[in-house]
Amino acid sequence: MIIASNVTKQFGKLKALDDVSTTCNKGECIALIGPNGSGKTTFIKCILGMVVPDSGFITFKDKNILHHWKYRDGIGYMPQIGRYPDNMTIGQVLDMMKDIRNKKTALDEDLIKAFSLHNLLNKRMRTLSGGTRQKVSAALAFLFDPAVLILDEPTAGLDPVAAESLKEKIIAEKEKGKLVLITSHVLSELDDLVTRIIYMQEGKLLFNKTIEALRHDTGEDKLSKAIASVMTGLTPNLSSKERKF
């Protein structure tokens, strides 16, 4: 569904993305992991067209996305830090997004119910806590029943109950045959979610493996341990501080 070919992006001296190529298909749940500043969010933003790559290209359903905008109809995006116009209430933000998307078919309001956001519809966005904002972002990402879900650190800041219902929702959507892209630092959380791991470091795609292959290769059952063992194998000269990741 999404194919990235040799995507490179430079911010000043920093190479945020260095020749990244990958393919993402329907029904997959892909975890993008890597240390802070490894280019995960930049890669996601490239897919969304928020960052324009210096070279290389990304196709969505076999169409180059450069300077196109219609394709975003099929993407639900939950940003890392969801910030909304301060003066609007939750209800107004939801209505505005419905108005902009102008979707004819039924809306998916499961998460609005699960997070009981209807009780907060009159709250202004600036009065919301970080966690509640995350709930609004998550609800918005799933609201229009998109074919692709892109979630940037979805559970950061959510309480355990909300995180659990979000996880259930992600699994349910994956079962429906949607493509889900997640970045996260909480590896234990990804254990029962993901089917494939993409590991990035300093803008490079270090490895790209299905979770079964990863478990098989490392002999570890837990994702965090498997990653740790791969990382020590991949980069033997990392300092101990970096290895701790």
Partner 1 sequence: MKKIIKYVITDILRNRIVLVYTLFLLAASFSVFALEDNSSKGLLSLLNIILIVVPLVSIIFATIYVYNSAEFIELLVSQPLKRKTIWLSLFTGLATSLSIAFFIGAGIPVLIYQANIIGFTMIGVGILLSIIFVAIAMLATVKTRDKAKGIGAAIMLWLYFSLLFDGFVLFLLFQFADYPMEKPMIAVSACNPIDLSRILILLQLDVSAMMGYTGAVFKDFFGTYTGIVFSFVTLLLWIVLPVWYAARKFNTKDL
Q: Does 51 bind partner 1 (CB under 8 A)?
A: yes
Residue 1 beta carbon to partner 1: minimum distance, rounded to whole angstroms: 16
Comparing CB distances to partner 1, the nearer of 4 and 211 is 4
Residue 9 beta carbon to partner 1: minimum distance, rounded to whole angstroms: 8
Binding letters toward partner 1, positions 110-149, x by CB under 8 A: ----------------------------------------
Task: Give the position of tokens 């210096």.
Answer: 54
Q: Does 50 bind partner 1 (CB under 8 A)?
A: yes
- Distance CA(149)–CA(156), nearest Å, equals 17
Binding letters toward partner 1, positions 75-104, x by CB under 8 A: x-x-x--xxxxxxx-------xx-xxx---
- Distance CA(214)–CA(31), nearest Å, equals 13
What are the residues whose beta carbons fall under 8 Å from the beta carbon of 43, sequence distance 6 or more? Answer: 4, 7, 17, 20, 32, 200
Least Cα distance to 197 among 3, 76, 22, 78 occurs for 22
Q: Does 14 bind partner 1 (CB under 8 A)?
A: no
Q: Under rule CB under 8 A, how many of the chain's residues touch partner 1?
A: 28
Given phi > 0 = left and psi -120 to 50 = alpha, else beta, which region is 121? alpha
Binding letters toward partner 1, positions 189-218, x by CB under 8 A: ------------------------------
Q: What's the distance, CA 98 to chain centroid?
A: 21
- Distance CA(125)–CA(144), nearest Å, equals 21
- Distance CA(24)–CA(105), nearest Å, equals 26
**Out of 52, 172, 213, 234, the residue judged to bind partner 1 by CB under 8 A:** 52
Q: Does 1 bind partner 1 (CB under 8 A)?
A: no
Q: Which stretch binds partner 1 (CB under 8 A): 63-71, 110-118, 181-189, 198-206?
A: 63-71
Expressed in percent and rounded to 5, the helix, strand and coil fractions of the chain are: 40, 25, 35
Chain residues that interact with partner 1, rule: CB under 8 A? 11, 45, 48-52, 67, 69-73, 75, 77, 79, 82-88, 96-97, 99-101
